[in-house]
A and B are shown apart, each in its own frame.
Chain A
Amino acid sequence: MTINEKQDQIIEIFEEYSDWMDKYAYIIELGNGLSPIDPKNKVNQNLIEGCQSRVWLDAKYQDGIIHFAGESDAVIVKGIVSLLIDVLSNHTPDEILNADLYFIDKIGLKEHLSPTRANGLLAMVKQMKLYALAFKAQNNP
């Protein structure tokens, strides 16, 4: 599935929830279901410090494809991390670099990406793209 197909699928799921609390209940479910990051990768180097919560992000590059893993101390953030990983994982650096993450706005989570209330998420998207850039450079020196 392309990044956009995955985004559209998420938008569709969220459209089924009319109430905010139902949307967040779903995000919490996703957060609780996110596979934990390997403890040896839960290090400061992989930490994105937001204003309100912390996010750890790790990336692996294999056969031209990037796999992300992430975690947060707040469950809602973990849920959103899970969505971002779902959308961006298993893609090539170019696909990730060119991705326009419109789903965040569409499902009504844009406030989590505002610069001062970033909570690490804006920084997280940036970090995911930085990984993509680094792996791309590594691949085409």
Chain B
Amino acid sequence: MTNPLDIKAIRNDFPILSRTVYNRPLIYLDNAATTQKPRCVVEAIENVYYNQNSNIHRGVHYLSQRATEAHEAARATVRDFIHATSSNEIIFTRGTTEAINLLATSYGETFCNENDEIIISTMEHHANIVPWQMLRDRKGIKLKIIPLTETGELDIPAFESLFSEKTKLISVTHVSNVLGTINPIKEIIEKAHARNIPVLIDGAQAVSHLAVDVQQLDVDFYVFSGHKVYGPNGIGVLYGKENWLEMLPPYHGGGEMIAHVSFDKTIFADLPFKFEAGTPDYVGSVALATALNYLQSFGMDNIAAYEKSLLEDATEKMLKIEGMQIFGNAPQKSSVISFLVNNIHPFDMGTLLDKLGIAVRTGHHCAMPLMTALQIDGTARASFAFYNTHDEIDAFIAAIERITKMF
């Protein structure tokens, strides 16, 4: 099958990809940390500031109305991107981290009491661990942790054994930022719903790689960040089923999230505004919508298929390198490869790859409990986006081979 994506043309949409570092062409393989931005996203930001910048929702004047329309149109774009039923289910946050903190506070304080239990997994990044630990310290809840199998997948039978009368929420990642494992979240959601327990899915590593349909998944909450899906920094999304969001109290108080305020009593605004205190990032929302439209113009399935070919190509070639160890060998895997070669410290590997113009991530990847479970201090991680090429993979492989000879 020929690749339906014209990668050369796509790369032209990302000016940063044609720059050099240390006089070498940049090979950017740190996409799980953040993705580069296409020109249309940067131009969308510029356009808002140059042509329609105005605070939204409160102004009667022309610019304010145009800006309000653009912000709400962006919300509708997000709604369609993840197939939510209503724009009321789309809450703009600063990112995945804020969305999880919002739920840990709003859901946690409302529905969790002492000795109640929340289930997370060994492969969570810190954003899906620390807010729950903070809730634990405030409310005396317990965290139960789903263990992993040898291949780096969630141990589903063990997961089922964690359920109890006290279980109040399951919060797991869709895709592991270290192992690349794509979790069977539909199955997890079904098992939780059979026991009337809601599920939060952390989609930070998923939305740029996979088509997500929250209705088909029947997921209760789904969160992601704009910057990991070719959008701008500082904006993210909390999806919640409308009936859940109706039940939850606001997280932040302030302007925009109110219907009426007197010094005696405040009546909160309806969804989605109840959760969006203060001036929202109406520039970020428009730019995020631009990014999502840009992605969809290629088709998420085409992107997924191409990234799979990158993953398979890289994995196959990396495994031919003597001493190569890849962490995460799930059959369902996103385009992320965490690795170590011989005894070379990931910091050394990352530093030298950098000097060859190749950007990878090294360290614990904000998933220290996972590192503990794997009994390592860290890994080097290459993560591919659909603008990466097979030629870049060859250069990456050659670089690793060159580096391993230096030790």
Contact = CB atoms under 8 A, between A and B. Distances in A.
Contacts of A76: 345, 347-348, 351-352
Contacts of A75: 344-345, 348, 407
Contact of A51 (B352, B363, B402): B363
A22 to B, nearest CB: 10
A35 interface: no
B362 A24 contact: no
A24 B351 contact: yes
B352 A74 contact: no
A20 B355 contact: yes
A21 B345 contact: no
Contact of A77 (B22, B347, B402, B407): B347
Main secondary structure of the interface of A (DSSP, over half): helix
Contacts of B351: 24, 76
A21 B378 CA distance: 23
Nearest to A31: B348
B30 to A, nearest CB: 14
Contacts of B344: 75
Interface string B332-357: 00000000000011111011100110
Interface residues of B, number: 18
A73 B407 CA distance: 14
B319 to A, nearest CB: 24
B347 A53 contact: yes
B406 interface: yes
Nearest to B355: A20
A52 B406 contact: no
B345 A73 contact: yes
Contacts of B346: 52
Contacts of A73: 345, 377
Contacts of B355: 20-21, 24
Given A73-B377, A75-B407, A24 B352 contact: yes
A74 B347 contact: yes
A20 B22 contact: yes
Contacts of A107: none
B407 A53 contact: no
Contacts of A25: 406
Interface in A49-77: 51-53, 73-77
A28 B351 CA distance: 12
A82 interface: no
Contacts of B363: 51-52
- The 7 A-B pairs at the shortest CB distance, nearest first, are namely A74-B345, A20-B355, A74-B347, A52-B347, A53-B347, A76-B348, A52-B363
Interface of B: 22, 344-348, 350-352, 355-356, 362-363, 377-378, 402, 406-407
